[in-house]
Amino acid sequence: GAGVSQTPSNKVTEKGKYVELRCDPISGHTALYWYRQSLGQGPEFLIYFQGTGAADDSGLPNDRFFAVRPEGSVSTLKIQRTERGDSAVYLCASSLKGSGSGYNEQFFGPGTRLTVL
Amino acid sequence: ELKVEQNPLFLSMQEGKNYTIYCNYSTTSDRLYWYRQDPGKSLESLFVLLSNGAVKQEGRLMASLDTKARLSTLHITAAVHDLSATYFCAVDLYNDMRFGAGTRLTVKP
């Protein structure tokens, strides 16, 4: 079956612009996560959705970052007024958490490499 | 503040040798995961450890979890070049996972 997909794979933008990153989770996975990975670092948690609602958005660095998952499947991470420091790989993951699964093994997408010039 | 510390961060080893990567964490959790990441690629799940004393093995890799010591290990037996990658441990905090900084493994012939 299909894994987690993310589009675009690469995004280059200019400082101050708005970007949207899309994540398509594994079918049937109710939980969806966004992470940010800077070069040489481990993934850093941004936000977690259970169904349509953001169950935990404590990792979003500031109010320029926002994410939605209106129908409980596809999610979009939105970044306003991008800054050079936002440059990173943005990873999406999904899991069966909350669907009767006893644990939270997350399956990751290929990521979107965002470069802010 | 929760800390997930891996060591070593960089590991260069000869083919055929054995080595252990350590993952220490500073909070109570009985669920820990190991992932592999190849350059420019996403994360691939290797092991899911769900209880104290859990041990999982796959090929030349074996992972274990000691929740009392808040320590997980990833043991490499008779390393081969194909194992070259970055390995991450991640602690399950219910709503999210906290990752270590990763161990970049290079296996040389």
pLDDT tens for A69-80 read 999 999 999 999
Cβ–Cβ under 8 Å, residues A7 and A20: no
Question: What is d(CA B32, CA B83) in angstroms, rounded to the nearest whole number?
Answer: 21
Residue A102 in this model has a pLDDT that exceeds 80 = no
Query: Quick one: pLDDT at residue A98?
Result: 60
DSSP labels for B59-84? Answer: TTEEEEEETTTTEEEEEE-S--GGG-
Portion of chain A with pLDDT greater than 90, in percent: 77
Rounded to a whole number, what is the distance in Å from the CA of A33 to chain B's nearest CA?
Answer: 8
Residue A100 in this model has a pLDDT that exceeds 70 = no
Q: Does B34 touch chain A (CB under 8 A)?
A: no
B97, B98, B102: residue with CB nearest A106: B97
Question: What is d(CA A74, CA A60) in angstroms, rounded to the nearest whole number?
Answer: 19
Over the stretch B87-109, which tens digit does the pLDDT of each residue have? 999 998 877 789 999 999 999 98
Q: Mean of the pLDDT values across residues A23-51?
A: 93
**CA nearest B8: which of B107, B105, B109?**
B105
User: What token pair was written down for A116?
Assistant: 């802010």
Q: What is the band of B1 on the pLDDT scale with cuts at 50, 70, 90?
A: confident
User: What token pair was written down for A96?
Assistant: 């069966």
Residue A101 in this model has a pLDDT that exceeds 60 = no
Q: Write out chain B residues lying below 8 Å of A42, CB-based.
A: 4, 88, 90, 99-102
Half-sphere exposure of B4 (CA within 13 A, CB side): 24
Phi, psi for residue B66 in degrees, rounded to 5? -120, 100
**Number of C-beta neighbours around residue B43 at 10 A:** 27
Residue A1 in this model has a pLDDT that exceeds 60 = no
Over the stretch B24-75, which tens digit does the pLDDT of each residue have? 999 888 889 999 999 888 899 999 998 888 999 999 999 999 999 999 999 9
Q: What is the band of A96 on the pLDDT scale with cuts at 50, 70, 90?
A: confident
